[in-house]
């Protein structure tokens, strides 16, 4: 990704509603062609950020630049190059899927013949061809969401912004939807910004993520690096399973140098290392030497879930989180 | 020669360019037009208004036939709209009473409906100006209302020709046409009221009820309230001084003219009944030496000019308020 131009940039973007600060000094940089995940709990300010990027809400202070254009001053130009799938997207219930998409095409000044072609193609790509002439009121949640993606494909923007795209869809639907998004981004060379509070679902497709809590961006980067960045300076925790699993195993582990605590957590045993130490290289030969077989080993705190939990539970963010 | 013409030309070019760049107004307008025309509630309301109007007109035609020989034969055609027959009020009253309902029905869910269907944020994320949405909705409603009112008016006029066989004079046609235009303005007022309510209230049911409440207030209670206030300030007993009675009557009328319904009723009566020569209280000495007769069209228009200006101003004011609120509204979904 390095060297790619930044497509979405925010400078100290801030939005206050009365005394409530929805977004505080957000500095974000999203580069050409990447999938960026804005992750945070509900009410963290994700939707507000997106609305400011599209010029639909005026920032209290700071700047949002999309392709170098200030979204507040040039909303039309920004909206021409950015497609937006709102949280819980809605369509005109009395119109058919095709009619809804044609309306979008007309609003984007796509000539009629071209519009028909694009609508048919995008409905096919999201697997709704057979429902093109059905009224949207008959559609399920998942179908609406897919229609929302088709709506964006009709517009064919360079930047795609998705707000909670996987919310309320069954797991199979989520898998298909994410595959669709990845295909759009990779084949079409689009820049994708998606927001979600369901990190498990989206972390697999994001090139980089930003952790967004209570209006502040706490950390941003590739999922793998984020773990090290966040956990730097904190003692490493290791989760393991070994055989034979008896009390002798616990005392054996305790006696290993560099281990400060050993606890049993369900089926796993958790080790805490002394600050700055990683005992994993020594652990395997050590256990083997004592007659134990290692079955499972994982460093906690390095995947998104742990990071996420860390920020939700730790450091007082939990209490200040808005609804 | 003509620097201002160049200015106008420049402005036109600029305006067309803006239109071309956005084009949102036209698209929103077309879609809303189609939506309005195909909606069930619109069909129901037009049916209701048409049945009431044609019914009233038919009864009027019957009673005109009976009275054909007796009265003066002037403006027979216009009387089709103003004559009540037995139990049914005249056409003009029906339209005055039901017209607002048409306007309210087309606008009460204009914005909050989009909000509740969650289409507003998707719509506004398209490259269109924000005011294209509210302007398009208002214009589409206005055009639909104009088509309905003109169609109904000309339908009744055509039936009138068939039923009574008296062709209208040029002046009668002019009066009828202006009457229909004023009706369109009046109904547009109610359209903008309902647009405003669709912005102020999140629930479509609430905004519909609020619209109906305002409509009933102006249609039924505003007159009573004006009477109450006037009687309270200038009580009129049996032997009251003439000046006091005059004060009472003037105040009552001035107060009730705050209601667009009164303005509309006075304007349309004057238009369709050339015999109406004045709208305020008349003193006996003012009638001394007056020759009974009807007013020509331009004098009738002069009489109701303030009413027309008032109606147009009220419509624009309410729409401007709705426009302001729409432009300031936060888009936050949910």
pLDDT at residue number B139: 94
Contact list in A for residue B129 (CB cut-off 8 A) is 76
Give me the residue from A76, A86, A104 closest to B121, CB to CB.
A86
Angle between helices B242-256 and B222-233 (to 10 degrees): 150
* CA distances for B122 relative to B89, B198, B221, angstroms: 47, 18, 42
Of residues A275, A243, A246, the one with CA closest to residue A259: A275
**Domain extents in chain A:** 6-221, 231-306
User: Is the separation of the CB atoms in B269 and B89 below 8 Å?
Assistant: no
- DSSP letters, A40-85, are --TTSSHHHHHHHHTTSS--SEEEEEETTEETTT-HHHHHHHEEEE
Angle between helices B91-107 and B170-200 (to 10 degrees): 30
Would you say residue B75 lies in a domain?
Answer: yes
Which domain, by its residues, includes B130?
Answer: 24-284+292-328
pLDDT at residue number A161: 95
Q: Which residues have a Cβ under 8 Å from the Cβ of A1 and sit 6 or more positions away?
A: A31, A33, A34, A207, A208
CA distance B27 to chain A (A): 6
Contact between B27 and A107 using a beta-carbon 8 Å cutoff = yes
CA distance A74 to chain B (A): 10
Q: How far apart are CA A3 and CA A220, in angstroms?
A: 17
Tens digit of each residue's pLDDT (9 = 90 or more) over A180-195: 889 888 888 899 999 9
For an interface test with B, which of A56, A93, A150, A153 has the most B Cβ atoms less than 10 Å from its Cβ? A56
Would you say residue B16 lies in a domain?
Answer: no
Q: How far apart are CA B50 and CA B99, in angstroms?
A: 11
Sign, Cα dihedral of A194, A200, A201, A207: positive
Question: How many domains would you assign to chain B?
Answer: 1
Q: Which residues have a Cβ under 8 Å from the Cβ of A55 and sit 6 or more positions away?
A: A64, A71, A72, A74, A75, A78, A79
The domain A6-221 having CATH identifier 3.40.50.300: the answer here is: yes
CA distance A104 to chain B (A): 7
Give the residue-averaged pLDDT of A41-62.
90
Range A271-274, long-range pairs (CB < 8 A, 24+ positions): A271/A237, A271/A238, A271/A239, A271/A240, A272/A235, A272/A236, A272/A237, A272/A238, A273/A235, A273/A236, A273/A237, A273/A238, A274/A235
Contact between A87 and B123 using a beta-carbon 8 Å cutoff = no
How many CB atoms sit inside 10 A of residue B65's CB? 12
Give me the residue from A54, A77, A86 closest to B333, CB to CB.
A86
Instruction: Convert A51-71 to b/e letters by CB count within 10 Å (16 or more is b).
Output: bbbbbbbebeebebbbbebeb
Would you say residue B174 lies in a domain?
Answer: yes
Would you say residue B9 lies in a domain?
Answer: no
pLDDT at residue number A323: 32
For an interface test with B, which of A106, A157, A195 has the most B Cβ atoms less than 10 Å from its Cβ? A106
Whether omega for the bond prior to residue A3 falls within 30 degrees of 0, making it cis, is no
Instruction: Using pLDDT thresholds of 50, 70 and 90, give the confidence band for residue A2.
Output: very low
Complex ipTM, two decimals?
0.84
Contact list in B for residue A89 (CB cut-off 8 A) is 118, 122
CA distance B188 to chain A (A): 25
pLDDT at residue number A1: 43
| Radius of gyration from C-alpha coordinates of chain A | 24
Residue B281, CB-side half-sphere exposure with 13 Å CA sphere: 14
pLDDT at residue number A3: 52
Helix (H, G, I), strand (E, B) or coil at A176: helix
Contact between A87 and B27 using a beta-carbon 8 Å cutoff = no
Contact list in B for residue A47 (CB cut-off 8 A) is 332-333
Instruction: Using pLDDT thresholds of 50, 70 and 90, give the confidence band for residue A321.
Output: very low
Tens digit of each residue's pLDDT (9 = 90 or more) over B137-178: 999 999 999 999 999 888 888 888 888 777 888 888 999 999
Tens digit of each residue's pLDDT (9 = 90 or more) over A252-269: 888 888 888 888 888 888
Contact between A56 and B23 using a beta-carbon 8 Å cutoff = no
Q: If you count them, how many residues does chain A have? A: 323
CA distance A168 to chain B (A): 15
For residue A220, the surrounding DSSP H or E stretch is: strand A216-221
Of residues A191, A206, A221, A189, the one with CA closest to residue A307: A221
Decide if B131 touches A, using CB distance below 8 A.
Answer: no
Q: Which residues of chain B have pLDDT under 50?
A: 333-334
Contact between A79 and B125 using a beta-carbon 8 Å cutoff = yes
Q: How far apart are CA A92 and CA B38, in angstroms?
A: 13
Overall fold of domain A231-306: Alpha-Beta Plaits (3.30.70)
pLDDT at residue number A93: 92
Residue of chain A whose alpha carbon sits nearest to that of B128: A76
pLDDT at residue number A42: 80
pLDDT at residue number A315: 43
Q: Is the pLDDT of residue A235 over 80?
A: no
pLDDT at residue number A251: 85
Give me the residue from A84, A87, A103 closest to B125, CB to CB.
A84
Contact between A87 and B333 using a beta-carbon 8 Å cutoff = yes
User: Is the separation of the CB atoms in B54 and B90 below 8 Å?
Assistant: no
Contact between A89 and B118 using a beta-carbon 8 Å cutoff = yes
Would you say residue B19 lies in a domain?
Answer: no
Would you say residue B5 lies in a domain?
Answer: no
Give me the residue from B38, B129, B330 closest to A57, CB to CB.
B330
Specify which residues A11 forms β-bridges with: A63
Dihedral Cα B21, B16, B144, B315, nearest 10 deg:
100
Angle between helices B91-107 and B204-216 (to 10 degrees): 160
Contact between B125 and A82 using a beta-carbon 8 Å cutoff = yes
Decide if B121 touches A, using CB distance below 8 A.
Answer: yes
Contact between B27 and A103 using a beta-carbon 8 Å cutoff = yes
Q: How far apart are CA B62 and CA A287, in angstroms?
A: 110
Helix (H, G, I), strand (E, B) or coil at A217: strand
Contact list in B for residue A56 (CB cut-off 8 A) is 121, 124-125, 331
Q: Which residues have a Cβ under 8 Å from the Cβ of B248 and sit 6 or more positions away?
A: B230, B231, B233, B234, B236
Would you say residue B95 lies in a domain?
Answer: yes
Instruction: Convert A266-282 to b/e letters by CB count within 10 Å (16 or more is b).
Output: eeebbbbbeeeeebeee
Give the residue-averaged pLDDT of A35-41.
89
């Amino acid at each position: 990704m390095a060297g790619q131009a930044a497509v979405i940039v925010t400078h100290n973007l801030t939005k206050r509603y009365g005394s409530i600060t929805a977004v505080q000094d957000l500095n974000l940089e999203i580069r050409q062609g990447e999938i960026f995940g804005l992750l945070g709990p509900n009410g963290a300010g994700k939707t507000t950020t997106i609305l400011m990027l599209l010029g639909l809400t005026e920032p209290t202070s700071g700047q949002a630049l999309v392709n170098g254009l200030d979204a507040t001053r040039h909303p039309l130009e920004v909206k021409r190059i950015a497609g937006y799938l709102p949280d819980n997207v809605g369509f005109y219930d009395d119109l058919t899927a095709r009619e809804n998409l044609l309306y979008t095409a007309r609003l984007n000044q796509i000539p009629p013949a071209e519009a028909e072609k694009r609508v048919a193609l995008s409905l096919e790509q999201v697997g709704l061809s057979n429902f093109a002439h059905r009224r949207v009121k008959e559609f399920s949640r998942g179908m609406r969401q897919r229609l929302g993606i088709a709506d964006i494909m009709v517009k064919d923007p360079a930047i795609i912004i998705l707000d909670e795209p996987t919310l309320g869809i069954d797991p199979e639907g989520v898998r298909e939807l994410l595959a669709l998004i990845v295909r759009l981004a990779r084949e079409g060379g689009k820049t994708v910004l998606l927001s979600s509070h369901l990190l498990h679902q989206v972390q697999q497709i994001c090139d980089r993520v930003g952790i967004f809590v209570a209006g502040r961006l706490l950390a941003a980067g590739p999922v793998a690096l984020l773990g090290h960045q966040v956990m730097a300076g904190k003692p490493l925790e290791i989760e393991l399973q070994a055989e034979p699993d008896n009390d002798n195993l616990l005392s054996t582990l305790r006696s290993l140098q560099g281990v400060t605590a050993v606890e049993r957590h369900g089926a796993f045993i958790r080790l805490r290392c002394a600050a700055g130490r990683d005992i994993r290289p020594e652990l395997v030969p050590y256990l083997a030497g004592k007659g134990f077989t290692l079955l499972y080993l994982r460093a906690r705190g390095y995947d998104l879930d742990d990071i996420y939990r860390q920020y939700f539970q730790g450091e007082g963010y939990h209490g200040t989180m808005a609804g | 020669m003509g620097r201002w013409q160049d200015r106008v030309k420049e402005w036109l070019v600029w305006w067309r360019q803006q239109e071309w760049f956005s084009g949102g107004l036209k698209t929103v307008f077309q879609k809303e037009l189609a939506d309005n025309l195909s909606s069930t509630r619109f069909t129901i309301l037009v049916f209701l208004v048409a049945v009431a109007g044609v019914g009233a007109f038919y009864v009027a035609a019957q009673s005109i036939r009976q009275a054909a020989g007796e009265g003066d034969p002037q403006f027979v055609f216009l009387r089709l709209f103003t004559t009540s027959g037995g139990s049914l009020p005249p056409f003009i009253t029906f339209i005055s009473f039901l017209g607002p309902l048409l306007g309210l029905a087309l606008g009460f869910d204009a914005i909050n409906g989009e909000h509740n269907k969650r289409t507003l944020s998707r719509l506004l994320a398209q490259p269109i100006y924000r005011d294209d949405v509210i302007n398009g909705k208002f214009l589409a409603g206005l055009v639909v209302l104009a088509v309905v009112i003109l169609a109904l008016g000309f339908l009744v006029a055509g039936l009138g020709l068939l039923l009574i066989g008296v062709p209208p004079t040029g002046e009668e046609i002019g009066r009828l046409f202006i009457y229909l235009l004023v009706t369109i303005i009046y109904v547009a007022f109610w359209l903008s009221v309902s647009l405003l309510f669709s912005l102020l209230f999140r629930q479509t049911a609430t905004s519909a009820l609020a619209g109906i409440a305002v409509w009933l207030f102006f249609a039924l209670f505003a007159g009573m309230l004006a009477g109450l206030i006037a009687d309270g300030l200038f009580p009129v007993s049996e032997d009251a001084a003439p000046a006091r009675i005059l004060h009472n009557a003037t105040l009552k009328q001035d107060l009730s003219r705050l209601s667009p319904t009164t303005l509309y009723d006075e304007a349309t009566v004057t238009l369709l009944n050339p015999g109406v020569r004045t709208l305020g209280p008349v003193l006996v000495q003012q009638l001394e030496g007056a020759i009974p007769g009807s007013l020509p069209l331009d004098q009738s228009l002069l009489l109701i000019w303030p009413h027309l200006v008032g109606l147009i101003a009220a419509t624009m004011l309410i729409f401007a308020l709705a426009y302001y609120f729409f432009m300031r509204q936060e888009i936050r979904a949910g």
